[in-house]
Chain A
Amino acid sequence: MKKKLLAAGIRLVLGLAAVAVVSYWWFSDAWFAQNQKAITDGIELSAVVPLNIYISGNEDSRLEQNLTFPVEDLTELGFSNSYDFNDNVVLRPASSSDGKIFWYAKKVNSDGIAVEDTASQSTYAMVQQTDYAYYMEKTVYLAAATEQYDDITSIDCYVSRVTISGLTANQLYKAARISISTTDDQFNETTYIYRYAADALDNEGQALPAYDAHSKSLSDPSIAMGIYENQQTGALPFNLICANDGIISVKELTVRVWFEGENAYAVRILAGGGFAFEIEFTVVDPSLGE
């Protein structure tokens, strides 16, 4: 009987020890999936692409001048399956209705609302193209590593996710906007503007942007950030040409970031801090016949 009791006692102690160990696993996040994003200031931009697509933000002149390169140069030109960009840029509030041309308010009232400047009789002034005090611009290059097969010579892709998160406690990021521009084979440019939205009903990121020197747009052209299925609003479509005998074709995408000045969160009191954009590109599944 004593032996039986001792054995049961040992089993109980071992069980309790196991509880202590698993409790440690449960409360530690070493094992479970986790987010290791560091707290920083400035703007972070992360882009991820599918397995057979490569992305680069390299400023190599070969990329700017040529739309093709041999596959041997893939690594040398900075192409990989993800792209991370970090810039400690300080941006002043700006406004854009097309994601390409930016305006700044000549004069603002105490609520941060643009008011007409009596001397020039205009409310807004256009930001010069190279004046990066108002917006951040980054060109990224995408390339399909899939070799042409059967009668397939190109791959359809789309922007499947755009999100923003604050890296610090303030809420300035709710006023941040991002535009993505791409050009098709006929050189027609398409630009989508994305604004912060916690969900489909959230309108905190909304604002009417400047249209010209005197007036605002009648509606907000931006799309709420989130996850998009192919052909949904927000799923910016683009096309990548397949590799041809080891020659890779490049698609240029321009990303611009700014603080929409008429948004309630683009106020001095919230200035400073950092935020991170994440963009995900997805290949259209050919099996779905889309």
Chain B
Amino acid sequence: MKRKKIFKIIYILLVVLFVTSAIITTLMILSFDKQYACPKFGNYIIVSVNDSELSPKVLKGNALIANLQYKEVQKGDYVIIAVKNSTGIQYAVRQVESVQEEYYTVSGTEGRGSFYVAKESIIAVSKIQIFGLGAYINLMRTQTGFFVFVIIPLVIVIMIQIIRMAVLIQEKKIKEKYELEIRNSNMQITEKEPE
């Protein structure tokens, strides 16, 4: 009985985890913007942080919610710079060190000094970060991650549902059979009573 209860709790936890994960993945997929190659909600994009350049202020694996329609950039802002590489478009997050008329100076890459960035290279400005979401998005964008965390749990849930339905149908049949037997025996008893 106790084991059954533990199994039920684990099952509920896994279902909740899977449903939450599926909802987040669905939201990310439905809002995925091909132009920006990331999820986009209105004027905001969700950018995964893929390096530790701004650690500990901005951690690798976090996600930044960045405004594409920003009005101005101020010293200390986290700016998103689009970089093309062999795998497609990637975003780099840097902190603005100074604002000039035509360009910004941003914090350097690992072991490097600060560098200049043309104002046009800044595609968005961020002030909000969500812990772990970047790593989650990156994982779900791989077929392996999607297979392991969406498809496999979904197949397991369906199999459990099929088994539960089969058990319930079986239970129903046994119950009906039992009820019929009781009814028959009751009828036999009532038939015998007048004698």
Contacts and interface: CB of A to CB of B under 8 A. Distances in A.
Interface in B90-107: 92, 94, 101-103, 105
A15 B165 CA distance: 13
B116 A51 contact: no
A4 interface: yes
A15 B159 CA distance: 10
Given A12-B161, A31-B32, A149-B114, A72 B84 contact: no
Interface stretch (A16-24, A113-121, A125-133, A212-220): A16-24
A16 B161 CA distance: 10
Given A5-B169, A72-B101, A146-B112, A22 B151 contact: yes
Given A15-B158, A72-B102, A81 B169 contact: no
What class of interface size applies to chain B in its complex with A?
Answer: 35 or more
Contact of A147 (B22, B87, B105, B146): B105
Contacts of A5: 165, 168-169, 172
Contact of B112 (A26, A35, A71, A286): A286
Contact of B146 (A26, A34, A79): A26
Contacts of B26: 21
A167 interface: no
A189 B104 CA distance: 34
A9 B26 CA distance: 23
A21 B151 CA distance: 11
Contacts of A71: 102-103, 116
B172 A148 contact: no
B85 interface: yes
Contacts of A15: 154, 157-158, 161
A285 interface: yes
Contacts of B102: 71-72, 74-75
B168 A8 contact: yes
A80 B116 CA distance: 12
A33 B88 contact: yes
Contact-size category for A: 35 or more
B187 interface: no
Considering residues B121, B143, B146, which has the most beta carbons from chain A within 10 angstroms of its beta carbon? B121
A16 B162 CA distance: 11
B168 A145 contact: no
Contacts of B141: 31-33
A147 B112 CA distance: 9
A82 B115 contact: no
B117 interface: yes
Nearest 9 Cβ contacts at the A-B interface: A149-B113, A82-B84, A52-B115, A15-B158, A146-B115, A72-B102, A12-B161, A145-B116, A286-B111
Given A31-B32, A52-B108, 11 more contacts: A5-B168, A11-B161, A12-B162, A51-B109, A74-B102, A74-B118, A81-B81, A81-B84, A82-B84, A148-B113, A150-B113
Interface of B: 22, 26, 28-29, 32, 34, 81-88, 92, 94, 101-103, 105, 108-121, 140-143, 146, 150-151, 154-155, 157-158, 161-162, 164-165, 168-169, 171-172, 175
11 contacts: A9-B165, A11-B161, A15-B158, A21-B26, A48-B83, A48-B84, A51-B92, A71-B103, A145-B117, A147-B105, A283-B112
